[in-house]
Structure 1
Amino acid sequence: MQSGNTRSRPAETVLAAATAQLATDPAAALAVAEDLLASAPDLLPAQLLAGQALRHLGQFDAAVARLSALAALAPTVPAVRWELAQAAVAAGQPEVAITALEQLTRQLPAVPGGWFLLANQYRAAGRARDGWLADLKGVNAATQDAELVQAALAMQQGKLDDAAALLVARRVRAGDDPPASRLAAEIRWRQGDMPGAIAGLEAVLNQAPGYDMAREFLIRLLVQSNRLPDALVHAELLATSPVDNPGHDLILASVLVHLGEQGRARDLYEGLLARNPGQPQVWQNLGHVLKTLGEQAGAVTAYREAVTRQPTLGEAWWSLANLKTVKLGAADIAAMEAALAALAGQESPRAEDLFHMHFALGKAHEDLGESQAAFRHYTEGNRLRRAGIVHDADAFSAEIDAAVSTFTAPFLAARRDGGCPAPDPIFIVGLPRSGSTLIEQILASHSQVEGTMELPDMMMIASRLAARVEAGEFADFGSMMAALTPTDRQRLGEEYLERTRIHRKSGKPRFIDKMPNNWQHVGLIRLILPNATIIDARRHPMGCCFSAWKQHFARGQGFSYDLVDVGRYYRDYVRLMAHFDAAAPGATTRVVYEEMVADTETQVRRLLSAVGLAYEPACLEFWRNDRAVRTASSEQVRQPIFTDGVDHWKAYAAWLGPLGETLGDVATLYPAVPASLSPI
């Protein structure tokens, strides 16, 4: 642009045209600015343009010098501070950038970009805490962003594609920023893209490490994905936030519980309660941890503290009732009835408080020998819980049909080679309330075996494989399994061992995975871990199913809240296990609960032999083992075997007709497998 042309037009017009050239021809923009300043040295817009052009040309030190001088002349012009900050960042002069951005954010505190850039410069200068606080101020400023509010509202209304489109348009126009990226990650999560959501949140935290709410969300998704070590790293970092938020300790404690670090979780809960004892939920959480650690008296105290502070907290009442060695009395029943009345008076009582309360009342009446009242409350608790559960018994039976059709004797024989050869895992499978915790405690008392918990990893691997069928990659379950090469199967077995390694803390060569639902995946286990041990824990179907039906489970087991559903589930279980007995003899070892109770030493010796372990007397004194136990039977396995529960269901036989009819010959011929379910 010629100087004559510059001087023949209004300065505003010339400046606008040159500014538009900054990105494509900064040298020309600089020439225009210098030409204007030659005749008007005090023209501030031209001085700003010169500084911007120098930055775009990569002459960062010159840009800083020019813009610093301009900032002294025009201290109230935000654009000058912003340009100076960006030039100083590019020049590697964080202190200059910090000074400019501190002044800018005082002047314009509602502009998020200034806070996020300031946060980065604080970190570059080694001021991590100040950077964290600046990130949080940027997040707070973003709550006033009308476009983000509009996108968030669309997301909350379920208009996920519309919300995503709004964010894309915003990014094209204004670039990326941490709050918009966090919202985009949540939209991906709601759309079912868990990996994309996690990757998005990780990118957000690379931009803004002090974005606590994004880190909280990421931890939740990592736990859901069973990436517990990663979740722990983020939870421990979150706990160091300069914001005094007790919720951060609660998040860390939750991750520790998932990892089996019950002692550390207890310390956190006790610390929170020492500072503020009026927290019923924290008392309840402390009770859960103490129960797992075998500190029953402490657990009782904690649960009673919870219901004293919040009498309608149904889960705390149920947790107290669910301590199998604790009996609730008339005073407890009166308190729970009063709490139910209070919940009935609420406009929208929480369903979980209601059904937990009914399960607890059922157990309280059961303890008093009042079977009819107990059954009435169990029925209502199950009715309420079933209403919120998605379980399709027909679809589940079809899945078992597919497994039976796939894992035939020729199919398994043709795949003897492949898979991970490690013998480490001992899978205890079956139905909940089948005596599996007793078997686990016996085995975990052996010097070569470590007890862990109900690990979700095999189920997650199986779900990922099933998703390939749902996505149309394979025609059906059988073709997907047939497509797994020996290398694939070895990789999957090694993946399982790697995923579960975090739970192995003792260095013992064998470990237990007590996830009962893994009976559905016996075929997969045989393919990817051919030398693993599988123990089938079996109990009389009437006793097992009734016990599961009157037990509220923290998660999963959606089949257990209806007597017909649980009966059908048991029949499917017997059918599949009978199939493997025929297709792969010796693939599983069955332990019958009633036989274990009647002749414990003989059955313990048989069990150890099946696992390939030498007999050790400690296995007969399993109740002396003080390891953490997270299941509903945690108190029962801390005392010698008793026989009271074997025929307990008979006191309720008058009301168990639907269950008995559904089970049919599975119940009448137990422990034999009826011909109707035996392989043809």
Structure 2
Amino acid sequence: MSANSASPPNERDLRIAVVEHPEAAHAHAALASFLCATGRVDEALAHLDHEMGRQPAKVWPLSIKAGILSAERRAAEAIELHRTLVAMAPDVPLLWANFASDLAAVGDVGDAATAFRKTVDLAPGFGPAWLGLANLPIGPFDEADIAAMEAGLTIAGDPYHKVQLLFALGRAHGARAAFDKSFEKFSEANTLRGALAPHDGAGLAAFVEAHCAARPSLFAATAAASPQADNAIFIVGMPRSGSTLVEQILASHPEVEGAGELFALPEVAASIGAFASPEAFVRRLETLTHAEAAQLGADYLGRAKRYRRTDRSYFTDKMPANWRFVALIRRILPGARIIDVRRDPLACCFSAYATYFNRHTDFPNTLEELGRYHRHYLEMMQMVQGVAPGSLHRLDHARLVADAEEEIRTLLGFLQLSFSPSCFRPEENSRAIYTPSAQQVRRPIQHEKDRSHAYRRWLGPLEAALDAGK
């Protein structure tokens, strides 16, 4: 690090700043952000409540609080704040977009669509709002919408807004069976995202190779099993494999809370060098003492607890990319259950290709990279199954939708959970969902149309990359 690098903010300086500049929104936002980052969300909210009382006519205290609640996945609590915000500042597109996103998360499709429409009326180049509309089950975009999105591309200042506009256009053309135009937009979207957030395919390959070269004991338990560790249920696999549906099914069980996509495990992995050197990370896993493993397990559970909202006995962590950290799970949380969700590779990878991933997600942006990514994922899962049989449950999406009762009963048996008929009715669960599949899993369990067939003539590079591993 350079000697001239700025020091990270500390709480004392941040509190001095809000005292010296009580009207400066950025000072209060910085303090609130610091408190949230250190796990003190309630303090951050209390600080903003104080500012809301002190400056009731100001928008920013309310806006920062709503943003925190949204980030903490407390959409239902944020919605009334959003409603007040858009009444106070009806011409601010971002406020409408934030409102719409939380309405979509809780399943209020009609009001979400209205709020997204208000956003793009105010700002035609606001990509997240167009993509939000594309993810809602409200019917296809019309010609006027497509023209508006094309015009939005020319004025969008944020390149990530352009990426999201392109994905929305890909969806729009596809819904109208204009598959050549649709694939063109998906390709443009991935090319632009690849320039902004390149995928580290070589790093992933080295990471998987380091695990494969390790002794089988890498996947053995280090920490002693504990009742708390037994409470975690990890749902892993490829994005767009059906993992959100599996979580929704389990979250409909009276003993399971669906905690969504948590960053707790990657954060614990980073704390012991997962993203620095694959070989060093594997050696660190191999040499963990019982006490160190137990502490890392407790660290994970503490981080996950921040997003718990109920006192149910079990919780899900549905971060698909956690397949990379199955060895870490086995070392520090040996009692945790792991579910590997599978879907037809071509359909799954194309669906991922047609899906927007945010700027912080390291994910492939080309068809060839997607095929290699899928091969690395399979390699890791097959290795785990070979050296630690019974440590994870493979769930096939096609079988799940074809025979839901049989597959759900088998899944509950693996998890050692009692049978509950509510698991057959995930569409009745009103929990907030933040993934692109949010509206799909609010419908009864059913076959979803495989869109890859309509794009087959463009998927040769993907098929070749998938076949290379056979």
Cα deviation digits, residues 558-580 of structure 1 (max 9, x gap):
32322122221111111001110
3-state SS of the aligned residue for 1:590? Answer: strand
The yes-or-no answer on 1:350 pairing with 2:350 is: no
3-state SS of the aligned residue for 1:188? Answer: coil
Provide the rounded CA distance (Å) in 2 between the counterparts of 1:467 and 1:426.
Answer: 21
1:659 is aligned to 462
Q: Is the 8 A contact 2:198 2:365 kept in 1?
A: no
Cα deviation digits, residues 167-210 of structure 1 (max 9, x gap):
xxxxxxxxxxxxxxxxxxxx224xxxxxxx34564564697694
Provide the rounded CA distance (Å) in 2 between the counterparts of 1:405 and 1:200.
Answer: 47
- CA gap of 1:467–1:641, structure 2 versus 1, over 3 A, is closer
Q: Is the 8 A contact 2:14 2:30 kept in 1?
A: no
- CA gap of 1:297–1:207, structure 2 versus 1, over 3 A, is closer
Unaligned runs of 5+ in 1: 1-158, 165-186, 190-196, 344-348, 667-673, 675-680
Cα deviation digits, residues 508-554 of structure 1 (max 9, x gap):
10111111111111111111111111111111111111111111123
Aligned pairs (5 A) from 1:144-155: none
Q: Is the 8 A contact 1:419 1:488 kept in 2?
A: no
Provide the rounded CA distance (Å) in 2 between the counterparts of 1:218 and 1:464.
Answer: 24
Aligned pairs (5 A) from 1:396-435: 396-406=204-214, 408-413=215-220, 415-418=221-224, 420-422=226-228, 423-435=230-242
Provide the rounded CA distance (Å) in 2 between the counterparts of 1:312 and 1:330.
Answer: 17
The yes-or-no answer on 1:569 pairing with 2:373 is: yes
- CA gap of 1:321–1:212, structure 2 versus 1, over 3 A, is closer
- CA gap of 1:553–1:412, structure 2 versus 1, over 3 A, is closer
User: Displacement of 1:409 after TM fit?
Assistant: 2.5
Bigger relative contact order (CA 8 A; separation at least 6): 2
Q: Is the 8 A contact 1:441 1:451 kept in 2?
A: yes
Provide the rounded CA distance (Å) in 2 between the counterparts of 1:532 and 1:382.
Answer: 35
2:304 is aligned to 500
The yes-or-no answer on 1:546 pairing with 2:350 is: yes
Give, as a single letter, the amino acid of the residue that structure 1 aligns with 2:273. Answer: A
1:269 is aligned to 82
Give, as a single letter, the amino acid of the residue that structure 2 aligns with 1:649. Answer: S
2:406 is aligned to 602
User: Displacement of 1:394 after TM fit?
Assistant: 0.9
Cα deviation digits, residues 471-525 of structure 1 (max 9, x gap):
xxx9822321233211111111112212222322221101111111111111111
- CA gap of 1:208–1:275, structure 2 versus 1, over 3 A, is closer
- CA gap of 1:532–1:229, structure 2 versus 1, over 3 A, is farther
Provide the rounded CA distance (Å) in 2 between the counterparts of 1:233 and 1:532.
Answer: 35
Give, as a single letter, the amino acid of the residue that structure 1 aligns with 2:116. Answer: Y
Among 457, 478, 483, which residue is 2:264 paired with?
457
Give, as a single letter, the amino acid of the residue that structure 1 aligns with 2:7. Answer: R
- CA gap of 1:477–1:548, structure 2 versus 1, over 3 A, is same
Provide the rounded CA distance (Å) in 2 between the counterparts of 1:268 and 1:396.
Answer: 41
Among 166, 188, 197, which residue is 2:7 paired with?
188
Q: Is the 8 A contact 1:204 1:214 kept in 2?
A: no
User: Displacement of 1:642 after TM fit?
Assistant: 2.7
3-state SS of the aligned residue for 2:268? Answer: helix
Q: Is the 8 A contact 2:200 2:362 kept in 1?
A: no
Provide the rounded CA distance (Å) in 2 between the counterparts of 1:268 and 1:330.
Answer: 34
Give, as a single letter, the amino acid of the residue that structure 2 aligns with 1:394. Answer: A
- CA gap of 1:236–1:650, structure 2 versus 1, over 3 A, is same
User: Displacement of 1:221 after TM fit?
Assistant: 4.5
- CA gap of 1:244–1:330, structure 2 versus 1, over 3 A, is same
- CA gap of 1:417–1:342, structure 2 versus 1, over 3 A, is closer
- CA gap of 1:438–1:298, structure 2 versus 1, over 3 A, is same
3-state SS of the aligned residue for 1:560? Answer: coil
Q: Is the 8 A contact 2:93 2:119 kept in 1?
A: yes
1:312 is aligned to 125
2:292 is aligned to 488
The yes-or-no answer on 1:288 pairing with 2:115 is: no
- CA gap of 1:486–1:383, structure 2 versus 1, over 3 A, is same
3-state SS of the aligned residue for 2:66? Answer: helix
Provide the rounded CA distance (Å) in 1 between the counterparts of 2:285 and 2:375.
Answer: 24
**TM-score when scaled to structure 1?**
0.65
Q: Is the 8 A contact 2:127 2:165 kept in 1?
A: yes
Provide the rounded CA distance (Å) in 2 between the counterparts of 1:584 and 1:602.
Answer: 25
- CA gap of 1:241–1:554, structure 2 versus 1, over 3 A, is farther
Cα deviation digits, residues 578-600 of structure 1 (max 9, x gap):
11001111111011111111111
Give, as a single letter, the amino acid of the residue that structure 2 aligns with 1:384. Answer: L
- CA gap of 1:199–1:540, structure 2 versus 1, over 3 A, is same
Structure with the higher fraction of residues in helix conformation: 1
Provide the rounded CA distance (Å) in 1 between the counterparts of 2:465 and 2:236.
Answer: 22
1:588 is aligned to 392
- CA gap of 1:384–1:612, structure 2 versus 1, over 3 A, is same
User: Displacement of 1:323 after TM fit?
Assistant: 1.9
- CA gap of 1:208–1:421, structure 2 versus 1, over 3 A, is farther
1:123 is aligned to none
1:377 is aligned to 185
Give, as a single letter, the amino acid of the residue that structure 2 aligns with 1:337. Answer: E
- CA gap of 1:335–1:529, structure 2 versus 1, over 3 A, is same
User: Displacement of 1:293 after TM fit?
Assistant: 0.5
Give, as a single letter, the amino acid of the residue that structure 2 aligns with 1:587. Answer: S
Cα-Cα RMSD: 2.5
Give, as a single letter, the amino acid of the residue that structure 2 aligns with 1:351. Answer: P
Cα deviation digits, residues 348-405 of structure 1 (max 9, x gap):
x321232221111111011111111100111111111111013220111101112223
2:140 is aligned to 327
Provide the rounded CA distance (Å) in 2 between the counterparts of 1:432 and 1:322.
Answer: 16
Give, as a single letter, the amino acid of the residue that structure 1 aligns with 2:267. Answer: M
Give, as a single letter, the amino acid of the residue that structure 1 aligns with 2:71. Answer: H
Provide the rounded CA distance (Å) in 2 between the counterparts of 1:555 and 1:401.
Answer: 26
Q: Is the 8 A contact 1:198 1:222 kept in 2?
A: no
Provide the rounded CA distance (Å) in 1 between the counterparts of 2:370 and 2:43.
Answer: 36
2:199 is aligned to 391
Q: Is the 8 A contact 2:11 2:34 kept in 1?
A: no
User: Displacement of 1:292 after TM fit?
Assistant: 0.4
Cα deviation digits, residues 658-680 of structure 1 (max 9, x gap):
111111155xxxxxxx5xxxxxx
Provide the rounded CA distance (Å) in 2 between the counterparts of 1:475 and 1:289.
Answer: 41
Cα deviation digits, residues 24-68 of structure 1 (max 9, x gap):
xxxxxxxxxxxxxxxxxxxxxxxxxxxxxxxxxxxxxxxxxxxxx
Higher mean Cα deviation, 478-487 or 652-661?
Answer: 478-487
Provide the rounded CA distance (Å) in 1 between the counterparts of 2:155 and 2:68.
Answer: 33
Provide the rounded CA distance (Å) in 2 between the counterparts of 1:340 and 1:657.
Answer: 29
